[in-house]
C-alpha cells in the first residue's frame, strides 16, 4: 500500500476566500453567518453562511452566465489547490492522469430553480438551453477536469452532508491502492436559493435567526441551540502518492492516513451513535492508530438538538474516558453547514489546526447542553504544540457516515 500525502489546498468559504484567510478567521473565531438579502417579503428573516466574493474578479460575464455558481466556486478552489501544490511540476504526467473526485449534495440547484420559475411562474417562458448541463451534479467535476486538464477518472459523490468527505476518502483509496498517482478531491455547494431554504425550513431543522446578533445564530453543543445554518462554499485538496510528491519536489503539507465509511441503516434522518462509532473506529483502524493518538477532532456538530448529543455519545464510545480530554470543536459555528462540501471544508479546518498549531473554537457556546459534556474549545481558539493526528467527522442524512484522519508529515519537503 502506498502512502498518500496532501500537497495543495484550495478553499472558498463564508469566512475566507483562500487558505490563509480561512485559517486566520478560524483562529480569530470569526463568523461568516449573516442575514440574507433580497428575501421575499412573505418570508421571515433568514440567516446563512454566504461567500461574499465578486465573481467578476475571476470570470467574464459570459462565463458567469454559462456556469452555475456551484461550478464557479469549485473552479476557484481547484485553481488555488493546484497553484499551492507547486503548479509547474504538476504538469504531465501526474496531472495529466489525475483523477477528479468531488462531492455535492444538490449540484447546480440555482440553475434548476431558475428554470422552474421560468416555466411555471412566467407562462412557459423558454428555459435556457444549458439548464441541464448547468444543473447536473457532476458539472463541477467536469469543469474542474477540463480547466486543469485531468484525464483520470472523474467521479461525483452525492451522499448529503458526507459527500465531499467520501470523495476525499475514495480518492485516497484509489491512490493508496495504485490506481492513480494524483487526484483533486473535495466538494462544492451553492444552495442558498429561496426554494431550497423553504424545503429545509419545512423540515424544521434550520436555526431560528438570532436577530440581536445574526452572526451567532449557529450554536453547536449549546443548551439554547435551535438548528443548523445553511452555507455555501468549496474546498478542494491535491492528493498524491508520497513517491509522486517526492519526484517533483512538491510541498508535503500533511499525510492523509485514515478513512472510514459506514452506514447507520436505521433511519433516513435520525443519526445513530453506533453507526458513527463504527465509522470513527474504521478510520482509526485504517490509519493504524489508537484513539489516544488523536489530538483534535473536528466534529460534524450541526447544532441540531438530536445530532449534537448523538455525536457526543459516539465520541465517548470510541475514546472512552479519554474523550473528556480530547479537544473537539464544530467550525460550523463560524462558516455554517456547507452540506455536500462541508466534509471537505471541515477537513481543511482540521489541517489548518495541525499545520498552524491551534485548536479552532466552537463559538457561541455560552452555556453547554449538560448532555454535551466534552471539551468543545468554547468561544476562543487555543494555541497547541505538536498535533500529530487530527480527525474530521461527516455524518449525513441517509445514514452515510465518513471519517478522515490526517497526520503530520514526518519529513516535510
Q: Decide if 94 contacts 181 (C-beta within 8 A).
A: yes
State how far the Cα of 210 lies from the Cα of 91, in Å rounded to an integer: 48
Specify whether the CB–CB gap between 338 and 232 falls below 8 A: yes
Closest CA relative to residue 182, chosen from 323, 81, 266, 105: 81
From the list 337, 352, 372, 403, the catalytic residue is 337
Residue 389 to residue 295: CA distance in whole angstroms = 6
5, 161, 352, 403: the catalytic one is: 161
Strand partners, 147: none
Q: Which is the catalytic residue, given 300, 352, 389, 403?
A: 300
Q: What letter would DSSP give residue 380?
A: S
**Is 300 in the active site?**
yes
Distance CA 156, CA 147 (A): 16
Round to whole Å and give the CA distance between 154 and 141.
6
CA 137 to chain centre: 16
Q: Taking CA 218 as the corner, what is the angle to CA 319 and CA 227, rounded to the nearest 5 degrees?
A: 80
C-alpha cell at 64: 458567469
Taking alpha carbons only, the member of 173, 182, 196, 166 closest to residue 104 is 166
- Tell me, yes or no, if 5 is annotated catalytic: no
Characterize 59-82 residue by residue with b for buried, 16 or more Cβ atoms within 10 angstroms of its Cβ, and e for exposed.
eeeeeeebbbbbbbbbbbbbbbbb
From residue 220, give the alpha-carbon distance in Å to each of 264, 304, 310, 333, 361. 22, 7, 12, 6, 11
Closest residue by Cα to residue 229 from 388, 410, 45, 10: 45
User: Is 151 tagged catalytic?
Assistant: no
Q: Which residues are catalytic?
A: 161, 300, 337
Amino acid at each position: 500500500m502506498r502512502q498518500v500525502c496532501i500537497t495543495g489546498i484550495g478553499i472558498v468559504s463564508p469566512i475566507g476566500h483562500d487558505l490563509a484567510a480561512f485559517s486566520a478567521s478560524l483562529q480569530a473565531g470569526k463568523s461568516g453567518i449573516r442575514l440574507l438579502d433580497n428575501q421575499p417579503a412573505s418570508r421571515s428573516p433568514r440567516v446563512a453562511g454566504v461567500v461574499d466574493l465578486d465573481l467578476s474578479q475571476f470570470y467574464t460575464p459570459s462565463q458567469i452566465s454559462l456556469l452555475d455558481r456551484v461550478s464557479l466556486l469549485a473552479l476557484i478552489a481547484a485553481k488555488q489547490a493546484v497553484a499551492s501544490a507547486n503548479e509547474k511540476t504538476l504538469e504531465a504526467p501526474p496531472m495529466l492522469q489525475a483523477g477528479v473526485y468531488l462531492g455535492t449534495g444538490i449540484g447546480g440547484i440555482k440553475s434548476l430553480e431558475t428554470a422552474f420559475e421560468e416555466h411555471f411562474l412566467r407562462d412557459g417562458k423558454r428555459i435556457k438551453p444549458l439548464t441541464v448541463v448547468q444543473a447536473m451534479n457532476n458539472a463541477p467535476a467536469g469543469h474542474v477536469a477540463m480547466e486543469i486538464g485531468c484525464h483520470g477518472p472523474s467521479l461525483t459523490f452525492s451522499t448529503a452532508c458526507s459527500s465531499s468527505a467520501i470523495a476525499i476518502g475514495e480518492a485516497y483509496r484509489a491512490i493508496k491502492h495504485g490506481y492513480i498517482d494524483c487526484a483533486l478531491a473535495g466538494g462544492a455547494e451553492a444552495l442558498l436559493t429561496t426554494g431550497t431554504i423553504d424545503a429545509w425550513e419545512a423540515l424544521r431543522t434550520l436555526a431560528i435567526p438570532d436577530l440581536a446578533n445574526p452572526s451567532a445564530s449557529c450554536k453547536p453543543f449549546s443548551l439554547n441551540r435551535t438548528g443548523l445554518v445553511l452555507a455555501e462554499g468549496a474546498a478542494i485538496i491535491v492528493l498524491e502518492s508520497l513517491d509522486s510528491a517526492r519526484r517533483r519536489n512538491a510541498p508535503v503539507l500533511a499525510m492523509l492516513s485514515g478513512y472510514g465509511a459506514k452506514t447507520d441503516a436505521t433511519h433516513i434522518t435520525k443519526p445513530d451513535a453506533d453507526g458513527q462509532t463504527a465509522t470513527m473506529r474504521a478510520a482509526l483502524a485504517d490509519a493504524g492508530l489508537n484513539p489516544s493518538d488523536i489530538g483534535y477532532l473536528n466534529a460534524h456538530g450541526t447544532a441540531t438538538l438530536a445530532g449534537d448529543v448523538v455525536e457526543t455519545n459516539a465520541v465517548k464510545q470510541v475514546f472512552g474516558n479519554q474523550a473528556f480530554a480530547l479537544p473537539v470543536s464544530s467550525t460550523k459555528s463560524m462558516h455554517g453547514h456547507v452540506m455536500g462540501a462541508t466534509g471537505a471544508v471541515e477537513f481543511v479546518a482540521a489541517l489548518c489546526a495541525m499545520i498552524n498549531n491551534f485548536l479552532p473554537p466552537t463559538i457561541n457556546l455560552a452555556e453547554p447542553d449538560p448532555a454535551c459534556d466534552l471539551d468543545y474549545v468554547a468561544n476562543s481558539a487555543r494555541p497547541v504544540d505538536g498535533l500529530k493526528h487530527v480527525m474530521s467527522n461527516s455524518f449525513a442524512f441517509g445514514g452515510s457516515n465518513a471519517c478522515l484522519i490526517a497526520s503530520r508529515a514526518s519529513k516535510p519537503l
